[in-house]
């Protein structure tokens, strides 16, 4: 789903920052113009900071759209589930995404002064 969104935005003339924990998953996007591939693990504060810095340095702090499609899957009956795997999933699905989104919106858009 994330790749399809990246390709659709790229076809409309937007510069796309496509991210994944493993860049090999994005190799099919390398031939597209206006696409920057970045390694990103939203559950790692160091990885989040590096991605935010890369986006801000390329855009001058201006970002028009943010589509967060990160996630991990873990399926098990509640009583059989591994609590640590559940915590890891929560860190990625909620905390990591929230931290990444907040970090990108920490500085207001330089053109409008807003981060909506």
Q: How far apart are CA 27 and CA 15, in angstroms?
A: 17
Kindly report the pTM of this predicted structure.
0.70
pLDDT digits (tens, 9 = 90+) for 61-73: 777 777 777 666 7
Taking each helix axis from N to C end, the angle separating 97-104 and 45-59, rounded to the nearest 10 degrees, works out to 30
2-104 fold: Rossmann fold (3.40.50)
The per-residue pLDDT for 16 is: 92
pLDDT digits (tens, 9 = 90+) for 55-107: 889 988 777 777 777 666 777 888 888 888 887 777 767 766 677 666 666 65
The per-residue pLDDT for 114 is: 57
Where do the domains of the chain lie? 2-104
Res. 36 pLDDT band, cuts 50 70 90: very high
């Amino acid at each position: 789903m994330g790749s399809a969104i990246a390709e659709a935005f790229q076809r409309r003339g937007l510069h796309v920052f496509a991210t994944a924990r493993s860049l090999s998953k994005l190799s099919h996007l390398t031939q597209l113009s206006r696409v920057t591939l970045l390694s990103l693990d939203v559950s790692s504060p160091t990885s989040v900071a590096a991605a935010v810095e890369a986006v801000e340095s390329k855009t001058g702090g201006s970002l028009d759209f943010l589509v967060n499609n990160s996630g991990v899957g873990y399926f098990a009956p509640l009583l059989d589930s591994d609590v640590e795997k559940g915590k890891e999933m929560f860190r990625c699905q909620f905390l990591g995404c929230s931290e990444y989104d907040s970090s990108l919106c920490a500085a207001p858009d330089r053109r409008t002064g807003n981060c909506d």
